[in-house]
Amino acid sequence: MLDPKLLRENSKHLAERLATRGFSLDVAHFEILEKERRQLQIKTQDLQNKRNLSSKTIGEAKAKNQDVKTLLEEANTLNEELKTTEEQLTTIQNQLHELYLQIPNLPQTTVPLGTSEKENVTIRTVGTVPSFSFTPQDHVALGSKNNAMNFDLASKITGARFVVLQGQLARLQRALIQFMLDIHTKEHSYQEIYTPYIVHRDSLLGTGQLPKFEEDQFALKGEHPYYLLPTAEVSVTNVLRNEIIDAKKLPLKYVCHSPCFRSEAGSYGKDTRGMIRQHQFEKVELVQFCLPESSYELHEALTQHAEIILQRLALPYRVVALCTADLGFSAAKTYDLEVWLPSQNCYREISSCSNFEAFQARRMQARFRQGTNKPELLHTLNGSALAVGRTLVAIMENFQDADGHIHLPSALWSYMGGIKIIT
RNA sequence: GGAGAAGUGGCUGAGCGGUUGAAAGCGGCGGUCUUGAAAACCGUUGAGAGAUAACUCUCUCCCAGGGUUCGAAUCCCUGCUUCUCCGCCA
């Protein structure tokens, strides 16, 4: 959510900045609502004040055993007017709140302008793309050996866009999770955290998945409006919802492994083959809470933390700054990490590292306090480090040999019980 | 799943339906004292919103949402959470 004050004072300017990311704000409509809200609020508060005073008078009169009949009649008339005014105010406040929830974050000033993902800017390219003396297979073909990666089996159990991993591939996925968690906890000093995989509406509202992206979520049937976790960003960021934390404790850094569930509505026909786009996948997520003045510095650092995983795994990748048009709803700035996939002969997203500034914190009322100052909104950051399923795919495809064996990067050997090659 | 109890400020904890935004204690902050610290003493100390050029003033908030009432932290209903007991269970 944007700062309502800022929006009121600068609606035209903000509308221009929002337009760069393809969002059109109806300034006229907004200003009408705001004007109405303001008038109704003043009127309501005035009537409430009168009501409070009159009640006090009645109390005092009663204490002196005076007759309060006329006072009561006056109070009743006042209350009728107050009631309708309050209802009008509530209606308009709700309308405004709905509107606020629909407005995406402002792109930060360094975000490249663009009208489509084609205008994303590559910041750096790391590692060398492998060259093969044979035609490399994709992970689906590689994984079909011994049924180690089995999509038919998954669809028998559940349906399309799920996978069953068996044997050494299942182990490799587990090894990757451990490997990533170890690096972030030991080398980057993140606190490991385990959270529920089911969340309620308020959590999704807090991080910005709702109300706009309802169709991307898996909603659970039952008496509670529960959803499957689309990313640990949701559960971990909401740790500080409605909290005021001591500035001395900042930055707060969490790492969380979780499965992620996405309905992938609207992506029919996209990446239908293989493990790239699934309804369920594993991810290791980094989340940070920090002071506003340090969020951009920490955003760079967090991106580095994700990059280090790719480097240790010897995977070729590039870092891309998303342009205004490609920015996610809640993000002010995002770097995507894209890993090389030989079968597709291109780089594919494996991580997304974003600075949300105060956008999520305002929705969540996540604040900090410095000394005895007034509470202020935190800045939140997060990034995948990494998407585990896609990392598995990248390892299989980049490190295959002519026989279809996978030569594991040395960083994983100890996590695989000494296994260096998956045959 | 069944039966009970409870949810008040950073924490502990009072609070007959009417100057209670809320006693008291702890903690925090400022001060006195002290070479310094501790102790003691004094003062101060919630959040959000609106009006105003400003001093200030007003409104809302005692888990959440409804209701009763001129007036609700206090009464009623629903939900959520926590605790205790029973049942079931990885």
pLDDT in tens, A350-366: 999 999 999 999 999 99
Tell me the CA–C1' distance in angstroms for A205 and B48.
20
- At residue A247, the pLDDT reads 87
Tell me the CA–C1' distance in angstroms for A40 and B37.
57
Which residues of the protein have their beta carbon within 7 Å of strand B? A 4-5, 38, 41-42, 44-46, 48-49, 51-56, 58-60, 62, 72, 75-76, 79, 223-224, 244, 367, 371-372, 374-375
A71-75, A187-191, A322-326: least confident range: A71-75
Alpha helices in A187-265 (DSSP H): 201-207, 232-237
- At residue A373, the pLDDT reads 82
- At residue A419, the pLDDT reads 97
How large a percentage of chain A has pLDDT more than 90? 83
**pLDDT at A189 exceeding the cut of 90:** yes
Tell me the CA–C1' distance in angstroms for A247 and B37.
27
Taking residue A157's Cβ as centre, other Cβ atoms within 10 Å add up to 10
Q: How confident is the model at residue A71 (pLDDT cuts 50, 70, 90)?
A: confident
- At residue A266, the pLDDT reads 76
Closest nucleotide to A59 by C1' from CA: B18
Closest nucleotide to A78 by C1' from CA: B70
Tell me the CA–C1' distance in angstroms for A232 and B86.
37
Taking the C-alpha atoms of residue A419 and residue A423, their distance in angstroms, rounded to an integer, is 10
- At residue A174, the pLDDT reads 97
Tell me the CA–C1' distance in angstroms for A243 and B8.
18
- At residue A394, the pLDDT reads 98
Residues in chain A: 423
Q: Domains for chain A: give ranges and CATH numbers.
A: 26-102 (1.10.287.40), 117-422 (3.30.930.10)
Residues of A annotated catalytic, as ranges: 262, 277, 349, 352, 390
Q: How confident is the model at residue A173 (pLDDT cuts 50, 70, 90)?
A: very high
Residue A338 φ/ψ, nearest 5 degrees: -120, 130
**pLDDT at A229 exceeding the cut of 80:** yes
Closest nucleotide to A58 by C1' from CA: B70
**pLDDT at A372 exceeding the cut of 80:** no
Q: Which of A85-89, A366-370, A410-414 has the highest mean pLDDT?
A: A410-414
Closest nucleotide to A79 by C1' from CA: B70
**Residue A219 exposure: Cα atoms within 13 Å on the Cβ side:** 15
Closest nucleotide to A8 by C1' from CA: B50
Angle at A193 between CA A328 and CA A101, to 5 degrees: 30
- At residue A284, the pLDDT reads 98
State both tokens at A376: 């202020």
More confidently predicted of A125 and A371: A125
**pLDDT at A134 exceeding the cut of 80:** yes
Residue A158 φ/ψ, nearest 5 degrees: -130, -65
Tell me the CA–C1' distance in angstroms for A193 and B26.
32
- At residue A68, the pLDDT reads 79
- At residue A248, the pLDDT reads 85
State both tokens at A396: 């299989």
Closest nucleotide to A374 by C1' from CA: B47
- At residue A64, the pLDDT reads 82
- At residue A181, the pLDDT reads 98
Across the beta sheet with A379-387, what order do the strands follow?
A121-126, A317-321, A333-341, A346-357, A379-387, A280-290, A252-261, A191-192
For range A206-226, the mean pLDDT:
89
Tell me the CA–C1' distance in angstroms for A41 and B50.
7
- At residue A291, the pLDDT reads 93
Taking the C-alpha atoms of residue A315 and residue A341, their distance in angstroms, rounded to an integer, is 10
User: Which nucleotides of chain B are near protein (any atom < 7 Å from a CB)?
Assistant: 10, 18-19, 28-29, 47-51, 58-60, 70-71, 80
For range A267-277, the mean pLDDT:
89
Q: What is the mean pLDDT of chain A?
A: 94
